C-alpha cells in the first residue's frame, strides 16, 4: 500500500484533485546523494561523467570589486563555483576547499587556477587559516614561518588574516558565511575575514580593523572594504537564540532581523479546513526569523570608522544566486545540506 501511495499514479491522482480546485501540487526537491551511517554517499557517476583528472570549464569565476580597479598595487577577488576541474559536486566546478568528497590534487589545481586568475603573472604565496568560527586574527609578518603544510593545507588556526608584506595573498573560505576584504590605501596593509554569524557576533571585522590600526597605524578614513557573496537575508533562517545573542551585543540588532511567513496556497484558499482547537503551544509553527549578515558586517565596518562611500556590498546570495545557464553561482552549505564545495575570497599586495 505504501509503495502505491508514493507511486507516480498516486501522485497523479493528487495532482488531478488539486487541479480541479485551481491549485497545483508542489514540486518535490531531491537532495544529491543518499545517507548512510550519518554521512552523505557520493552519487554514482554516469558514463559521461568527467574523469578523475577533471575537466576544465572555461576560466575560473572571479567576482572583482570595480571600485578597487584604480588601486594598481592591490590584488583581490571572490571566487564563484564555475571554471574549475572538480567533479565532486558537478562537472567543471571550482571547489577551493579541502572537502572529504574531493580529490586533494584537484583542489590544489583549482587553487592554482584561481590564484592565477586573480594575480596574473605576479608571484604570490597563498596564506589561509584553519577556520573555526571565531574572532581570532592572524598577523603575517615579513619573516613568517611556514603558512601551509606540504599538502597545501593551512598551518595557522583563525578566522581572519592581515599583512602588509607584498607577495602574500590572504585567503578565507566560505560556503554561506560572509567574506570581508579590507585594504589600506595609505599603508598598503590588507586583511581578510571569515564572518559567519558566530564570527560576526564576535565582532571579527571590528577586531580586525583594530588590529590593523595597532600594527600598521591604519586610519579608518584610508580603508576600503568589500563585503562579498554569502547567504542573504532572503535565505538565512536562524533560531530565536541567535536573535537574542545579537540583541544582547548590538543596539542596531532589530534592524538585522525580519520575520518571514511561508505562503501556503491551500491554506490561503481554504482557511476553514485548517482551523483547530489545539491549546496554546500546539498551534501551527510561527514565522521564520531571518538575519542579514551583509548588513551586520557593514555596520561593523561603519562602527570601526570606515566611511560609507568606501564600503562595497556585492549583494549576491550564495543560497539563491544563479548564473545565465541556470546553475548555482556559488556553493551553499545550507542549501546543499552540507554536501558542497568552498569558495575563497583573497586579497594581497602585488609582489615587488
Say which residue the cell 491522482 belongs to.
Answer: 13
Cα–Cα distance between 201 and 133 in angstroms, integer?
10
Helices (H), 120-225: 197-201, 204-216
Threshold 0.85, pTM exceeds:
no
**DSSP E strands: which ranges in 284-342?**
288-291, 311-313
| Maximum Cα–Cα distance across the chain | 74
Set of cell numbers at residue 76: 583581490
* 10-residue averages of pLDDT along the chain (352 residues): 53 56 42 35 33 54 96 97 96 97 97 97 94 98 93 97 98 98 98 98 98 98 98 96 98 96 71 67 72 98 98 96 92 97 97 70
Contact 319, 331 (CB under 8 A): no
Say which residue the cell 497523479 belongs to.
Answer: 12
Output the pLDDT for position 169: 98
Output the pLDDT for position 9: 61
Output the pLDDT for position 352: 62
- Assigned fold of 53-236+292-349: 3.60.140
Output the pLDDT for position 267: 67
Instruction: Please report, for the chain, the start and end positions of each structural domain, with discontinuous segments joined by +.
Output: 53-236+292-349
β-sheet with 74-79: strand ranges across: 62-63, 74-79, 343-349, 168-174, 125-127
The vertex-115 CA angle with 79 and 169, nearest 5°, equals 100
Cα–Cα distance between 154 and 132 in angstroms, integer?
13
Output the pLDDT for position 300: 98
Amino acid at each position: 500500500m505504501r509503495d502505491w501511495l508514493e507511486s507516480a499514479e498516486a501522485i497523479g491522482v493528487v495532482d488531478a484533485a488539486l487541479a480541479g480546485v485551481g491549485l497545483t501540487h508542489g514540486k518535490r526537491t531531491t537532495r544529491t546523494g543518499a545517507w548512510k551511517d550519518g554521512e552523505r554517499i557520493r552519487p554514482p557517476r554516469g558514463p559521461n561523467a568527467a574523469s578523475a583528472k577533471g575537466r576544465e570549464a572555461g576560466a575560473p569565476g572571479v567576482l572583482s570589486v570595480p571600485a578597487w580597479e584604480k588601486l594598481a598595487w592591490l590584488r583581490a577577488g571572490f571566487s564563484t563555483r564555475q571554471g574549475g576541474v572538480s567533479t565532486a559536486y558537478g562537472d567543471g566546478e571550482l571547489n577551493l576547499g579541502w572537502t572529504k568528497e574531493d580529490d586533494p590534487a584537484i583542489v590544489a589545481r583549482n587553487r592554482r587556477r584561481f590564484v592565477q586568475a586573480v594575480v596574473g603573472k605576479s608571484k604570490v604565496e597563498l596564506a589561509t587559516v584553519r577556520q573555526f568560527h571565531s574572532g581570532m586574527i592572524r598577523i603575517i609578518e615579513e619573516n613568517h614561518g611556514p603558512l601551509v603544510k606540504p599538502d597545501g593545507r593551512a598551518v595557522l588556526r583563525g578566522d581572519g588574516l592581515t599583512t602588509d608584506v607584498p607577495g602574500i595573498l590572504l585567503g578565507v573560505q566560505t560556503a554561506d558565511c560572509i567574506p570581508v576584504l579590507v585594504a589600506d590605501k595609505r599603508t598598503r596593509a590588507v586583511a581578510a575575514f571569515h564572518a559567519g554569524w558566530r564570527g560576526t557576533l564576535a565582532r571579527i571585522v571590528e577586531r580586525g580593523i583594530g588590529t590593523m590600526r595597532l600594527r600598521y597605524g591604519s586610519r579608518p578614513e584610508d580603508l576600503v572594504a568589500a563585503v562579498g557573496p554569502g547567504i542573504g537575508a532572503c535565505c538565512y533562517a536562524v533560531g530565536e537564540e541567535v536573535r537574542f545573542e545579537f540583541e544582547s551585543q548590538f543596539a542596531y540588532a532589530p534592524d538585522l532581523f525580519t520575520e518571514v511567513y511561508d505562503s501556503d496556497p491551500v491554506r490561503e484558499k481554504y482557511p476553514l479546513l485548517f482551523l483547530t482547537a489545539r491549546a496554546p503551544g500546539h498551534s501551527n509553527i510561527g514565522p521564520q526569523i531571518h538575519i542579514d549578515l551583509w548588513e551586520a558586517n557593514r555596520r561593523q565596518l561603519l562602527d570601526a570608522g570606515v566611511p560609507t562611500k568606501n564600503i562595497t556590498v556585492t549583494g549576491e546570495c550564495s543560497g539563491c544566486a544563479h548564473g545565465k545557464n541556470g546553475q548555482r553561482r556559488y556553493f551553499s552549505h545550507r542549501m546543499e545540506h552540507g554536501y558542497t564545495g568552498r569558495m575563497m575570497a583573497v586579497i594581497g599586495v602585488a609582489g615587488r
